[in-house]
Amino acid sequence: MSVYQNILAAIENQEKLLAVLIDPDKFPVEKTRGFIEKVNVSVATHIFVGGSTVEAEATEVLVNEIKKYTKLPVVLFPGDVTQITDKADVLLFLSLLSGRNSDYLIGKHVEAIPKLKDTNLEVVPTGYILIDSGAVTAVEKVTGTKPLSRDDIQIVKDTAIAGQFLGMKLIYLEAGSGAKNALTKAIIGMVKKELKIPLIVGGGIKNSQQLESAYKAGADLVVIGTAFEENESFFDTLRK
């Protein structure tokens, strides 16, 4: 079964999914084994790898290392074409639907094809929607786009549905890595109500209460990065 089919099956069984995000730019590769051992005994279901700015070979080195220690699917969540490696299981083929920079809507995708066409990587088209979290995020800086306002839920909702109509298989609502304010239940709930495809939520989720609240609001898969980077004992509260 593909990673995407597994996600659909989990949702069908009313299971909630949790991805641990590792940014190759910030994560010392020698810490991989100890870190992944903690991931393995936690409720995490996926490992996402990616960052806004990452050195050319760093992603592949890290993915190879992660793969030594876990059976969990490794999902590329790339900030750029250089982060694509066939050592991972699946690639989120992200379109930044909240922005109007054509590079991040189609340009980078065309650039990626020579790298992708001879691999067995599963490719999942994903609508990526950045929402204002009160501070300028790395995504905003790198892509030169503005996030959607969190007060305009209608636009957020319409953007997500437009992504679905364009054929995206996932929608990722993003508050930005290390966001001071995670997305509200209201935004998550309103988007989820209208969507027929799985909903990923991430950015600024730092504890189990916020995680539960995102699930209750309708997130199918939650992504957490910074909270694990800053405090690995967070895993202790998320044991299987």
Q: Which residues bind ligand 1GP (CB under 6 A)?
A: 21, 174, 177-179, 202-205, 223-227
Taking the complex as a whole, how short is the minimal distance between the CB of residue 1 and ligand 1GP, in angstroms?
25
Could you tell me the smallest distance in angstroms from the CB atom of residue 204 to ligand 1GP? 5
163 or 204, CB closer to ligand 1GP?
204
Nearest to 205 by CA among 44, 33, 27: 44
> In this complex, which beta carbon is closest to ligand 1GP, that of residue 119 or of residue 215?
215
CB of 162: closest distance to ligand 1GP in angstroms? 21
- Provide, rounded to whole angstroms, the least separation between the CB of residue 225 and ligand 1GP: 3
The encoded tokens of residue 159 equal 């953007």
The half-sphere exposure of 166 on its side-chain side, counting CA atoms within 13 A, is 20
Cβ atoms within 10 Å of 81's Cβ, excluding its own: 16
- Least Å distance, CB 20 to ligand 1GP, is 9
Residue nearest to ligand 1GP (CB): 202
The nearer residue to ligand 1GP, 178 or 189, going by C-beta atoms, is 178
Query: In the structure encoding, which two tokens stand for residue 123, read together?
Result: 């490719």
Bridge partners of 211, per DSSP, are: none
Q: What is the DSSP letter of 144?
A: T
Decide whether 7 or 223 has the Cβ nearer to ligand 1GP: 223
Residue ranges of alpha helices (H) inside 195-225 are 208-217
Spatial separation of the C-alpha atoms in residues 36 and 24, rounded to whole Å: 14
Of 44 and 227, CB closest to ligand 1GP? 227
Residue closest to 29 by CA, chosen among 64, 81, 74: 64
